Amino acid sequence: MAWNQASYESVLAMLVAVLFAVAGIINLARPAAVKRDFARWGYPGWFQLLCGALELLGAALLVGQQTRLLGLALAGTIMIGAIFTLLRNREPFKHLAPALMFAALVVVVGMVRFL
């Protein structure tokens, strides 16, 4: 089977979907360390649940070919918010790096889709 642009897009989109699904499950499970982070950043407790739900929605939208564009838009918006939060709170690079990688993957999927 020859790999084409659609195959690369699908594989990358599934990778991003899995990463967002894992992040969403973690936020919905509300482990103590993540709960403390959200509180330290000044967000109310319900905001972590909202983030988790939006991450899961983004993951689900990324899976479908017809909904992928919406998923990319939602994932990109989530990552802009996450990076802004980390920069505003002067988090160390070890916390910023994963967010930058997630954001880069979202951009790559979008580029593969439209190029």
Residues spanned by the domain of 64: 28-114
> Does 2 score more than 60 pLDDT?
no
For range 45-51, the mean pLDDT: 97
Share of the chain above pLDDT 90, in %: 88
For range 3-18, the mean pLDDT: 85
- Mean pLDDT of all residues belonging to the chain: 94
95 occurs within a structural domain: yes
Domain count, the chain: 1
Say what the pLDDT of residue 6 is: 66
97 occurs within a structural domain: yes
13 occurs within a structural domain: no
Say what the pLDDT of residue 22 is: 98
Cβ-contact 61, 67 below 8 angstroms: yes
